[in-house]
Structure 1
Amino acid sequence: MKEYDLLIIGAGLFGSVFAHEACKAGKKILVIDKRSHKGGNVYCENVEGINVHKYGPHIFHTNDKKIWEYVNSFVEFNRFTLSPVAMYKDELYNLPFNMNTFSQLWKVRTPQEAKDKIQEQIAALNIEEPKNLEEQALSLVGTDIYEKLIKGYTEKQWGRKATELPAFIIKRLPVRFTYDNNYFNDKYQGIPIGGYNKLIDGLLEGIEVRLDTDFFESREELTALAETIVFTGQLDRFYDYRFGKLEYRSLTFEHQHLPISNYQGSALVNYTEKEIPYTRIIEHKHFEFGTQPTTVITKEFPSEWEPGVEPYYPINDERNSVAFKKYSDLAEKETNILFGGRLAEYRYYDMHQVIGAALTAVNKYKGNK
């Protein structure tokens, strides 16, 4: 008889939801995390009353009413609506691409004028089969939007020229012919009042959590503690990189606490020219409509990933997809190890998708036990 029913590796959203639901089913659980805090990348640090999103901005948005009600059962969410702006060579543009953007670009006023301008630019390019990301984007939105609002940002994000990136990265570019700056179309969106730590604390209430605990440093000892393992880390590392390392893009963050009440008037400002090394500046207090006398801003710098650096965005090209398939085939053969979350599944997940996947996985686990 082992000490725990479940060892959950990773105290992020997936691990925390899985732990909460399994605990409700009467399972004895140990959650471990290599970091010194719970919450994974949704962790917030409180700086003079401002909840700072330490690993980049997290705006919760979903059309799934059940998921929305689920998260609100732990902490009330506010009415924050993401309406970012983009800076290009001292020119400000509304995002997503909408009638405000087109008016700022071309002084047009009607949807038909904007459509005509975009189609005129697309027709002049005569691109029949886009061969790369640049041609794909140009064929969707034309020259002006691409050059000012897409090209530099994308090349910084991926660390490659747009002509070297595959066309499939941009399947579509949302273009709205309305004066609507709401970035997401989802019915439900907001930020937890008091920060995401309240959500994680609610999920993990009454569950044993050990922080500063690296699974790979005590693998045999930790594995021996539980009947079943839930692993939310990097799948390739779990299998000792036997099929090679899966590649990612990473991010670094430069946080500044400033003695002013309002730095940029928006939670997010994108910097789309390539000459500026960061992709955006986050001003955290605006997520919760803060009125504090000071403010905290974060500059976000995309970077190459290497082992030991936090992985953020999977590079789902052909080589990585082939390697991941080999790893996932191994994972499916495991009998008492479950894998889940963005790293274990090598995919980009929005928060509501992580929660949905965790609920599905834990229901399957309970059904098998």
Structure 2
Amino acid sequence: MKYDYLVVGTGLFGSVFSYEAAKRGKRVKVIDKRNHIAGNIYTEEIEGIQVHKYGAHIFHTNNREIWDYVNQFAEFNRYTNSPVANYKGEIYNLPFNMNTFNKLWGVVTPQEAKEKIEEQRKAAHIGKPTNLEEQAISLVGTDIYKKLVKGYTEKQWGRKATDLPAFIIKRLPVRFTYDNNYFNDKYQGIPIGGYTQIVEKMLSSELIDVELEADFFNKKEEYLESFPKIIYTGMIDQFFDYQFGTLEYRSLEFETSLLDEENYQGNAVVNYTDAETPYTRIIEHKHFEFGTQPKTVITKEYPKTWEKGDEPYYPMNDEKNNRIFKQYRELADKFPNIIFGGRLGMYKYYDMHQVIGAALTAVKQEFKN
């Protein structure tokens, strides 16, 4: 059969592009090396609970166009992300807010909290932050940094906080209100019935053929010769045979358990911020959908050093890796018949709404409408 496109990967970028191409009458072949569709947003049902197989995924965006777009594939609930931090048995609210400051310092007003942070920042003699530790202390003070940032962050990235770039911590919200909502975005929720259905609907066209357990690199030359255009969402350095060096990632291991109890931790996400606990967080999946099932499913998330063959989750966007990626990006620009996309193709940390936005931009550029 003659195809117009080969799409490598059934995550959001590849699936959105496939859906939009098929809408325009194009024939699309989609391959994925895993045995299921939907990439890292894949959910599977266990005991009536939608289990996020590759970590917690909460959809959030300020973009009405993106929100309307994804809602055509699923109905979303009103879930609000309000994780809590567990530091050696002490429980604190995340994001850092007045509830956090009150429990830690006994302060009641935003002004008192700001004065406490400023006092600790001055005591640490921090001018312009040059690393994550300095950035964190300047944002939230020494106490919160030591209890709620340092251990978690060093586990997550496998490096000392003083060796990590300052920008990483800037993603963490700090609020001087009693608001436990982690995201300030206007639209937020979890698809009722899980994420997999979204990709199933995107790939349901008769013009789209899906092949699972198909590794692009097992037939790379054949694919390059057979398809006029390729949408590639794998690792960009692997595509080019690592000729400029290997880009670094952090990987994860998941330990999922079905428990014969109704409620294990009382919240969907609990972060473990001390250095001694080997996992960074525990996810209790039923709370994403306000579940009342008699049993529960939990997942412990263990960060690990990425090695070739492991699943790459978080790009290490430090100066060295960004320099290597720039070389790959410049090389990729010389291949107009290949579109690189997604976290791995663009070596960038994307949230789900950002991936959809990037895919729709690629669609507009490709089809000029």
TM-score tier (shorter): over 0.9
Report if aligned partners of 1:156, 1:274 keep a CA contact under 8 Å in 2. yes
Report if aligned partners of 2:76, 2:192 keep a CA contact under 8 Å in 1. yes
User: Following superposition, which runs of at least 4 residues in structure 1 exceed 3 angstroms of deviation?
Assistant: none
Residue deviations 1:309-367 (CA, integer Å, cap 9, x gap):
00011111122111111111111111211111110000000000000000110121112
- Give the aligned partner of residue 150 of structure 1: 149
Report if aligned partners of 1:7, 1:225 keep a CA contact under 8 Å in 2. no
Report if aligned partners of 2:117, 2:138 keep a CA contact under 8 Å in 1. no
- Give the aligned partner of residue 285 of structure 1: 286
- Give the aligned partner of residue 342 of structure 2: 341
- Give the aligned partner of residue 320 of structure 1: 321
Give the aligned residue type for 1:162. A
**1:123 equivalenced with 2:98 (yes/no):** no
What's the secondary structure of 1:357's corresponding residue?
helix
Give the aligned residue type for 1:34. K
Report if aligned partners of 1:5, 1:228 keep a CA contact under 8 Å in 2. yes
Cα offset for 1:223? 3.0
1:71-220 equivalence runs, <5 A: 71-171=70-170, 173-206=172-205, 207-220=208-221
What's the secondary structure of 1:290's corresponding residue?
coil
- TM-score computed with the length of structure 2 as normaliser: 0.97
- Give the aligned partner of residue 36 of structure 1: 35
**How many angstroms apart in 2 are the aligned matches of 1:80 and 1:344?**
30
Report if aligned partners of 1:248, 1:312 keep a CA contact under 8 Å in 2. yes
Q: What percentage of aligned pairs have identical amino acids?
A: 68
**How many angstroms apart in 2 are the aligned matches of 1:110 and 1:165?**
32
Give the aligned residue type for 2:325. F
Give the aligned residue type for 2:46. V
Unaligned runs of 5+ in 1: none
- Give the aligned partner of residue 60 of structure 1: 59
**How many angstroms apart in 1 are the aligned matches of 2:65 and 2:99?**
34
Report if aligned partners of 2:249, 2:312 keep a CA contact under 8 Å in 1. yes
**How many angstroms apart in 2 are the aligned matches of 1:57 and 1:168?**
22
**How many angstroms apart in 2 are the aligned matches of 1:172 and 1:95?**
13
RMSD over aligned Cα atoms: 1.3
Report if aligned partners of 1:82, 1:184 keep a CA contact under 8 Å in 2. yes
**How many angstroms apart in 1 are the aligned matches of 2:340 and 2:165?**
29
Give the aligned residue type for 2:40. N
Report if aligned partners of 2:95, 2:172 keep a CA contact under 8 Å in 1. no
Cα offset for 1:9? 0.4
- Give the aligned partner of residue 363 of structure 1: 364
What's the secondary structure of 1:320's corresponding residue?
helix
Report if aligned partners of 2:262, 2:292 keep a CA contact under 8 Å in 1. yes
Task: Using the TM superposition, name which of 156-165 and 276-285 deviates more.
Answer: 156-165
Residue deviations 1:235-282 (CA, integer Å, cap 9, x gap):
000000000101111111110110001100100000000000100000
- Give the aligned partner of residue 249 of structure 1: 250
**How many angstroms apart in 2 are the aligned matches of 1:355 and 1:118?**
38
Report if aligned partners of 1:283, 1:295 keep a CA contact under 8 Å in 2. yes
- TM-score computed with the length of structure 1 as normaliser: 0.97
Between the two proteins, the alignment pairs up a number of residues equal to 367
Task: Using the TM superposition, name which of 182-191 and 317-326 deviates more.
Answer: 317-326
Residue deviations 1:12-63 (CA, integer Å, cap 9, x gap):
0000000000000000011000000000000011111111100000000000
**How many angstroms apart in 2 are the aligned matches of 1:190 and 1:168?**
26
**How many angstroms apart in 2 are the aligned matches of 1:338 and 1:180?**
41
Task: Using the TM superposition, name which of 171-180 and 89-98 deviates more.
Answer: 171-180
- Give the aligned partner of residue 24 of structure 1: 23
Unaligned runs of 5+ in 2: none
